Structures are given as structure tokens and as C-alpha cells.
């Protein structure tokens, strides 16, 4: 990542958008409602084909900078474009279909500046909204346990809860643009090799998951499965700890099972989950909580 311009705000809020005209107003309104006010907003349009740009322009104030990609490059590239333009010491992310609770930035900056000085990033819990139901995802995790947690999978919602020092992206790099999905997990795995993560347990964001008809995608064309393969290729070979290798290998099998379950292949999914347990039986509770929430949502349809 290139060096940022001179700091003139505390927080740069990066909002990647693609065909988000129905939700972008809610996202921007939730930033405007923050009790912490020393921020700029960088909206990166990833070549939308709907009225997203018009919606952003309509509600943009002097704090909003709109950047546009001429071609669709994916969420990782949109975030990287925003990071490169960020002027703040801190970078915060908000997906265009999600929203923040009013005290979100203030609470996380208090943790980073006063309660956990020296830790360069923080995530929070969030309320997960899907199929008319809301599930509170609380994250009572200690900073020193972050490495173990992220090896078990990415359930912390960094796309709308992460606040990190801008310098971190210069030190470990931005999001890997070869990923079309799971780029956040990949970045957090790299982050965990050098840093601890601070956590605010209670929900500070609203994350919306939109239901769609599942498709029986072939594994080689599924971006989630492709992301799983890429993570395995990048990390398994250089993990020196046998325990960490087994934890990550188990997680990759578990994530593959979840992807197959969403593709309406429950028998194949079950085999991968069983394989994950065989590789590393002491999987954490969050893995099974995620599987249970997914199963309940499926039954409710």
C-alpha cells in the first residue's frame, strides 16, 4: 500500500459499493449518526450498473469522497482503493448493505486508545439479520486468543466492524484481490501473524444477510470454494506449529462443508464436517454455533 496523505482526520470510513442503491442511504445515515464526529467517508463504487452512484451523490456531504472503478474488480479491490485514499490515522469499514449503531466508532476508539493501547485493530459484536430473524453475535474474546480464533474461521464480521490503524496496511499489505470471497479471512490470518486484536463483545453493527435461491454450483466455479483452496495454498505449507496446521486444515474442511450445504448438497456437507472433526476434534464452540444458525435458517424457509 502507498503512504497515505497527511493526517487531517482521525478516522477514514471506507464503504465499498456495488449495485447498492437500495441500502446505501441506510449505511451512510448510520455513519452520520455516530457520536464520534472526526471522520471522513470514502465511498468506492465498483462499477455499479444501477442507481448507486446517483444515490451516493444525492446524500453526499462535504465529508464524502466518491471514487469509481471503471470495471468491476471485487470487494478486496474496492477496499484497497479506499485505503490508498485514506487520510485518517484509523481506517474503519462498513459494507454498503449494513449499518452501524450510533456509539460504534466512539466505543472502539476508546478501547484502542485507552483500554488496549498498543493493539492496532479492533472488531465488535454485531446483530445478524436474516430471513426476518435477528441473532446477536457477541464476541467475548481476549486479544491473546485472537490467533487461535481466526484459525478456526472468520465469524467476526470485519467488513462492517473492523477499525485498524492505517499503518498496518503498509506493514502487512491490503486485501488480496485474487480472492472474490473470503478475502477478509485471508487478511486477518496475515494480521494475526504479527498482531493481537482487541474486541468489543457487544453488538455495535447491524449485518444483513440477503436470502437467495441456492444453486448447485460446481466446486471449481464457486468463489467461496475457490477462496478456501487459496487460503490452504497460502498458509498450510508455512505454518510451523503442528497444532495450527491441524486447526486450519480442519477449518478449511468445515468451511467447504458449509459451502456445500448452502449449495443443497447436505450429504457431501456432512462428510466434510465429519472430516473436519477427525482432523481436529477439539473445534471451538463458535464453529458449531455457526452451523446451528445455518441449519435453523434453512429449516425456517
pLDDT for residue 7 is more than 60 = no
Which grid cell is 207?
449485518
Q: Is the pLDDT of residue 207 over 60?
A: yes
Distance, in Å, from the CA atom of 58 to the CA atom of 193, rounded to the nearest integer, reads 42
List, for residues 225-259, the tens digit of each pLDDT value. 889 999 999 999 888 899 999 999 998 998 888 88
pLDDT digits (tens, 9 = 90+) for 95-116: 999 999 999 999 999 999 999 8
Pairing of strands 121-130, 163-165: antiparallel
Return the pLDDT at 10.
95
Provide the sign of the torsion angle of the four alpha carbons 159, 163, 167, 172, taken in this order.
negative
CA-to-CA distance for 96 and 18, rounded, in angstroms? 8
The model carries a pTM of: 0.86
Nearby residues of 171 by Cβ (< 8 Å), 6 or more positions away: 194
CB 137 within 8 A of CB 125: yes
Task: Determine the Cα–Cα distance for residues 182 and 176; give it in Å rounded to an integer.
Answer: 10
Identify the residue whose cell numbers are 455457526.
Answer: 290
Domains of the chain (ranges; CATH) run 11-209 (3.90.550.10), 219-300 (no CATH)
Residue with cell 474442511: 253
Q: Mean pLDDT of all residues in the chain?
A: 87
Q: How does pLDDT run across 55-102, given as a tens digit for each residue?
A: 998 876 778 999 999 999 999 999 999 999 999 999 999 999 999 999
Percentage of the chain surpassing pLDDT 70? 87
Amino acid at each position: 500500500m502507498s503512504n497515505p496523505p497527511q493526517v487531517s482526520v482521525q478516522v477514514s470510513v471506507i464503504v465499498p459499493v456495488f449495485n447498492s442503491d437500495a441500502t446505501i442511504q441506510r449505511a451512510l445515515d448510520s455513519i452520520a449518526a455516530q457520536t464520534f464526529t472526526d471522520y471522513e467517508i470514502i465511498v468506492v463504487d465498483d462499477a455499479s450498473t444501477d442507481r448507486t452512484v446517483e444515490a451516493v451523490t444525492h446524500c453526499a456531504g462535504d465529508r464524502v469522497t466518491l471514487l469509481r472503478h471503471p470495471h468491476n474488480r471485487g470487494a478486496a479491490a474496492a477496499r484497497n482503493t479506499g485505503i490508498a485514499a485514506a487520510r485518517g490515522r484509523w481506517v474503519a469499514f462498513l459494507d454498503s448493505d449494513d449499518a452501524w449503531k450510533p456509539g460504534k466508532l466512539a466505543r472502539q476508539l476508546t478501547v484502542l486508545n485507552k483500554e488496549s493501547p498498543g493493539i492496532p485493530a479492533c472488531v465488535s459484536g454485531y446483530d445478524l439479520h436474516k430471513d426476518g430473524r435477528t441473532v446477536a453475535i457477541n464476541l467475548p474474546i481476549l486479544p491473546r486468543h485472537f490467533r487461535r480464533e481466526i484459525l478456526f474461521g472468520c465469524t467476526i464480521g470485519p467488513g462492517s466492524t473492523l477499525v485498524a490503524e492505517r499503518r498496518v496496511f503498509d506493514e502487512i499489505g491490503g486485501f488480496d484481490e485474487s480472492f472474490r470471497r473470503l478475502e477478509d479471512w485471508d487478511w486477518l490470518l496475515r494480521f494475526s501473524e504479527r498482531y493481537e486484536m482487541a474486541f468489543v463483545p457487544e453488538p455495535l453493527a447491524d449485518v444483513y444477510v440477503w436470502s437467495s435461491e441456492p444453486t448447485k454450483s460446481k466446486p471449481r466455479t464457486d468463489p467461496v470454494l475457490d477462496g478456501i483452496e487459496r487460503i490452504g495454498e497460502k498458509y498450510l505449507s508455512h505454518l510451523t506449529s503442528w497444532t495450527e496446521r491441524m486447526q486450519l486444515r480442519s477449518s478449511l474442511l468445515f468451511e467447504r462443508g458449509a459451502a456445500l450445504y448452502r449449495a443443497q448438497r447436505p450429504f457431501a456437507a456432512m462428510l466434510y464436517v465429519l472430516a473436519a472433526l477427525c482432523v481436529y476434534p477439539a473445534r471451538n464452540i463458535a464453529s458449531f454455533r455457526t452451523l446451528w444458525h445455518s441449519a435453523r435458517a434453512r429449516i425456517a424457509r
